[in-house]
Structure 1
């Protein structure tokens, strides 16, 4: 076998491997199993007065004149997540004790099979991120997890009003600032609403990208689409991005949302 033939074979094998890899990353996984236990219908309370105008329009569009009291929520779906520069198909379930704790379970897949499982916990103000290559924790991870706790309430946004520890402040006719608790301090998330639909378009906040990061960076959560899911108007597609990256690192498509279900909040690996 001469050198030219050898090079052709090597190139062909590499191209075949690349093709197999590309095909594997196009296969969408099956959804995760639904959560156990029935969901309870939330109690309703009147929409409070004195909200900034874009916030009031948003809630009246979403709920009418009454808000649901949501104590827990489970969000499941599929999407894509970029890890190490590679965009993997993913399936996820987020479980919230609203405004308090959460558990994220995520599987990144190849040919529909899990190749990386992620468990992230935020409990009593402390976060723990369990990855296949180690555990990440620390005060800057806690800060990011607290922002995620409140940003993910976009799937149950009544919590921003019904939880007395959070409140809105006006900015302009299409923007408001959500003030949230973080330990003994407060943090802020800027909410921008669509002038035509009154629905939430984007959330912006300053977040540490990791425990080794010295400065906070702009963290963006964009609601790309609102959809009817089980009769409720909910974020159908959400894109999550960092200001210093060219595209969102995660795009999540919502497939099921349950409120006040008997679903335990996990505190260990799944």
Structure 2
């Protein structure tokens, strides 16, 4: 029995070392969130130099004349599919905080898969993305490995969600490129990554759709695929209209795969993140 103790100790030490190395190679971005940086009222004059569709959207949504939205909290009720051939939808609940300065978001969700609960988080801060999935909320079954493609995809997502963050149009990291009466391309460069998103507007000036070429996967073989966020309903929060019902769709081999559809059940502008987060 005495001879087994050194072997057991070495085995335990080796396992612990491997675990620490695994943690060092992977990452989960869950930072200490800053206070919202208030930026005053959005004056009409500030919108004059913006592309016409963006300026009209700010006016139609009610953002002009109100405090600039520099942060938002949303609570989502939704349905997910993890692969195109999945027949049934999995119900999910999610919460998210997003901020204009510094550009960041943290999303956490809970869904039921085959009768069992799975929790996940997706985050972006300091130009870095983080992702984690836990089985039954306890055992980690996936962590994101550092990858520039993941960072870029997270930045694409952040920019695509401008409809919740009108203040993002004034960010020094965002510039607007090609535009016409009903669409505009936005480019955002931050901490080594660049995202390009085309926003489309309906006849009333509402932001109807966001399109981007995003990485769905990571690794050497990963390729950018069309990703579309489409708004089907709107709601007004503190006088500003934001999306309420949204579908997120990937185009894979020419086929549309809607993997996430959700409604925003609650929202709050310029929130303070609870310490529990």
Between the aligned partners of 1:54 and 1:265, the Cα distance in structure 2 is: 38
Structure 1 equivalent of residue 209 of structure 2: 202
Between the aligned partners of 2:69 and 2:230, the Cα distance in structure 1 is: 23
Structure 1 equivalent of residue 164 of structure 2: 155
Range with greater deviation from structure 2 (247-256 or 226-235): 226-235
1:234 aligns with 2:237: no
Cα deviation for residue 54 of structure 1 reads: 1.6
Between the aligned partners of 2:70 and 2:179, the Cα distance in structure 1 is: 29
Cα deviation for residue 42 of structure 1 reads: 7.2
Does structure 2 retain, via aligned residues, the 8 Å contact 1:77–1:93? yes
TM-score using structure 2 length: 0.73
- Give unmatched runs, 5+ long, in structure 2: 1-35, 135-140
2:183 paired residue among 167, 175, 183:
175
Between the aligned partners of 1:109 and 1:230, the Cα distance in structure 2 is: 33
- Give unmatched runs, 5+ long, in structure 1: 1-38
How many equivalent pairs are there?
226
Name the SS of the counterpart of 1:131 in structure 2. Answer: strand
Between the aligned partners of 1:97 and 1:41, the Cα distance in structure 2 is: 11
1:107 aligns with 2:114: no
Between the aligned partners of 1:187 and 1:121, the Cα distance in structure 2 is: 16
Instruction: Flag the 1:64–1:226 CA change in 2: closer, same or farther, 3 A.
Output: same
Does structure 1 retain, via aligned residues, the 8 Å contact 2:127–2:192? no
RMSD, matched Cα: 2.6
Q: How does 1:75-224 map to 2 (within 5 A)?
A: 75-84=74-83, 85=86, 86-98=88-100, 100-109=103-112, 115-132=117-134, 133-137=141-145, 138-156=147-165, 158-184=166-192, 186-195=194-203, 197-212=204-219, 213-224=221-232
Does structure 2 retain, via aligned residues, the 8 Å contact 1:107–1:114? no
Structure 2 equivalent of residue 70 of structure 1: 69
